[in-house]
Copies of this chain bind each other. A is one copy, B any other.
């Protein structure tokens, strides 16, 4: 008799790692390869970080601060939130996992958009739960549809603002509609991984709402604009009751020391981060212009990526881009066949990409 693996585990899709720069370089015999597939900040993190961290490496034989208190205090001061309402994860995906671990019993469901970030469903499936999926409506989250899908077995509704993989936003009115119409026993999670890329005027004071309500939680990350994807650190701000539950399931030393120190450093450099946002947003305008000139459709984005319509030859376009040294995310892998998702990179890389892509599109597009 074989090992008795849980039935629900078999329903989790097997993880297929994306193509790495090295793989693509080797396969196509290329010099430069540009990874524009995972929405990293290709300008890099805040300068000076390496010098700061080298001092901490000599003490790396000690376990980390299990409560991540230093970075929680800094986040608390930055956003005016008590430390008790803040939880740190090894990436915000780990917080998503802790949320499902705390709320999802077998048979429970989470309400999500289709397509969306894959971890919401994965974390629910792991617990024997499942997801109720509400399709995008005009590339935006269907807020009324999501609220309408909630049933008596719904424990969590996951919103993503701005959304992934479309880059579209949720308005303040839409969020109010959710908060007014979802039962207070359902946890509303807003994943704000790309929050810092939003222009100030498009942001919602979600951390303020968290403190006024008992069922709202927001997630943010240091992996995107802050440029710390390799270190694994994100945070959640939520009601005490939920944060307390998450702390019970959390492993005692879930976040490494270097990530904690690095996050404190980058959070102190808001000016630098604002400049990254400006550069990315002005580069996005160049994308829009070039795509418009070439009659290529796309979705306007509140993030550092852009969803571009590539049509029925999308797979061939992805392959041609690879041959030219550009790794993008095929829409098919994201539930949007006929599209590609492209990370807005640096000025130089974007310019090369747009030149190459528009040429390929002329041959393969439509």
A residues near B (Cβ < 8 Å) are 1-6, 9-10, 12-15, 17-18, 20, 35, 38, 40-45, 49-50, 53-54, 56-67, 90-91, 93-94, 97, 101-106, 119, 126, 128, 155, 183-185, 187, 214-215, 223, 227-232, 239, 241-242, 244-245, 247-259, 262
Contact = CB atoms under 8 A, between A and B. Distances in A.
A262 B54 CA distance: 13
Given A3-B103, A3-B185, A214-B3, A62 B35 contact: yes
A interface: dominant SS: loop
Contact of A54 (B50, B231, B250): B50
Contact of A256 (B60, B248, B256): B256
A12 B246 CA distance: 11
Nearest to A63: B229
A249 B58 contact: no
A106 B103 contact: no
B103 A62 contact: no
Stoichiometry (number of copies): 2
Contacts of A256: 90, 230-232, 256, 258-259
25 contacts: A2-B214, A3-B103, A3-B245, A5-B103, A6-B101, A9-B248, A9-B249, A17-B67, A20-B65, A40-B62, A43-B61, A50-B54, A53-B53, A56-B230, A61-B230, A63-B223, A63-B229, A64-B229, A64-B232, A90-B232, A101-B126, A119-B252, A232-B254, A256-B258, A258-B258
A65 B19 CA distance: 10
Given A44-B61, A50-B58, A60-B49, A15 B247 contact: yes
A59 B86 CA distance: 28
Contacts of A41: 61
A116 to B, nearest CB: 15
Given A17-B67, A94-B251, 6 more contacts: A2-B184, A2-B214, A38-B63, A45-B60, A91-B253, A232-B255
Q: Which of A4, A13, A50 has the most CB of B within 10 A?
A: A4
